[in-house]
Structure 1
Amino acid sequence: MLLRFCILACLFTSSAIASDASHIDQVLNSAKLQGSGKLTWWGLHVYDASFYRGASSNSSEFALDLRYQKSFSGNAIANRTIEEMKKLGVPEAQAQSWGKQLATFLPNVEPGQNITAIYAPKQGTTFYFEGKPLAQIAGAEFPKAFFGIWLDPKTSAPKLREQLLGQSCPPPLFQESCN
């Protein structure tokens, strides 16, 4: 269970060390870092994750940047994504369909490389590798399933979720009672 999450989480890792986030800033119009954390598995540092919001704290646009600390194939990342989505209640057929889409564009990653996913309601979810656009998945259901891997209250990494959200509420896509 944790191994699968680690592989998936590795998909979208970023470091607390300053990395070029200009692509995030461009899309989110002055993005603000809301929180960051690292995923470890059996003492191994798998990836660093950073969660960004638009200039407004109630903005519906957000980004998740993952900087990997381990090597993973794009197919392994897509497969892990499918497994994590299913744990959150995404039907098998839908998770498999999205997994096939992801497998067509997710690159193999090496330590220090990052994948970023940015959600904008009118565009859908856009993926970047090392700051360069990879692909876009339209629709409102995919981002809830995909980003839910880290932001849904039922995530398999609750400590990382807490670190990513900090003292703030999740984006409106995941809004639960929040004061």
Structure 2
Amino acid sequence: MSVFYTTLRFLGSSRCAMAILCCASFATVAGVKPTSASPLLELTAQKIDRADIAGAATVRWLGFRAFDAVLVTPNGAPYDRGKQAALELQYAVSFSQDDLMKSTMAELDRLEGPQQDHPTIQQKLRNCFKRVGPEDKFLAIGPQVNRIELFRNGVRTCTVAHANIRARFLDIWLSPNSRFPSLSRKLRGQ
């Protein structure tokens, strides 16, 4: 089997999500230019006032595209943790539901340190994630500070209500301390 197919098989393995998050130093981020007339904006406009694209980027790992990310904010303004925002990830590789859940909780632990409410957040998110494959889109919309709505390919998978969940969840990708700081800067409009 060629190196290309072996690598793609690895990228689809159950360890891929953690490998991508843990090997960010090997990742490159490139700007992408989504169109302003997109299903993303149609969906986010229902939840975010004057929704527009604030930033976009592509993450590559070992030369292969892992995912594209697009941030939507009111008027396309730079990201502000205290304001409405939505983040869409379009995957180029497959991740299991378990991979997505474990990676999310590992990043919350890394960014915040162990918190007493992490088991509660994990329980609330448990049924939100679904397996994703190439070209699948996962969207998190934060219309309120204590609420996020999660979608897979335009279909709502859940709504999570929890103290400050919008900023805490979106910080996985948007915090200056994220695993992908250059991605975070591009998405935040910096």
- The runs of 5 or more residues in structure 2 that have no matched partner are 1-15, 23-31
Relative contact order higher in (CA < 8 Å, ≥ 6 apart): 1
Post-superposition CA distance 1:128-156 (Å, at most 9, x none) = 11112111111333222211111112111
Equivalent pairs, count: 161
Q: What residue number does 1:88 align with?
A: 111
Q: Which residue type is aligned with residue 179 of structure 2?
A: S
Q: CA RMSD in A?
A: 2.7
Alignment of 1:79-158 (within 5 A): 79-91=102-114, 93-121=116-144, 124-158=147-181
Query: Structure 1 stretch 92-101 or stretch 136-145: which is displaced more?
Result: 92-101
**CA apart distance, 1:7:** 6.4
1:91-139 Cα distance to aligned partner (Å, 9 max, x none): 2553343233322221111100101001122661010111121111113
Displacement of 1:16:
4.6
Q: Does 1:61 align with 2:84?
A: yes
- Among candidates 29, 39, 47, match of residue 67 of structure 2: 47
Report Cα offsets for 1:26-71 as digits up to 9, x if no partner. Answer: 2113311000001122222110000000237378111000000001
Closer/same/farther in 2, CA of residues 44 and 56 from structure 1, 3 Å limit: closer
Q: Is the 8 A contact 1:66 1:116 kept in 2?
A: yes
Compared CA separation, residues 25 and 6, structure 1 to 2 (3 A): farther
The separation in 2 between residues aligned to 1:107 and 1:37, in whole angstroms, is 23
Distance 1:96 1:102 in 2: 10
Name the CA distance, whole Å, in 1 between partners of 2:84 and 2:174: 14
The 1:56–1:35 alpha-carbon spacing in structure 2 relative to 1, beyond 3 Å, is closer
SS in 2 for 1:112: coil
CA distance in 1, matches of 2:126, 2:59: 22
Counterparts in 2 of 1:142 and 1:122: CA distance versus 1, 3 Å: closer
The answer to whether structure 1 residue 31 and structure 2 residue 54 are counterparts is no
TM-score, length of structure 1 as denominator length = 0.78
Q: Please say which of residues 53-62 and 64-73 is displaced more in the overlay.
A: 53-62
Query: In percent, how many aligned pairs have the same letter?
Result: 23
Residue 74 of structure 1, CA deviation:
1.3
What SS class does the counterpart of residue 162 from structure 2 fall into?
coil
Residue of structure 1 in register with 2:18 after alignment: 4
**Structure 1 residues 56 and 40: CA distance shift in structure 2, 3 A:** closer
Partner of 2:94: 71
- Residues 1:40 and 1:125: Cα distance change in structure 2 (over 3 Å): same
Distance 1:71 1:145 in 2: 24
Which residue does 1:12 correspond to in 2? none
Q: If you compute each CA radius of gyration, which structure gives the higher value, 1 or 2?
A: 2
Provide the TM-score with structure 2 as the length reference. 0.74
Distance in 2, Cα, partners of 1:157 & 1:60: 22
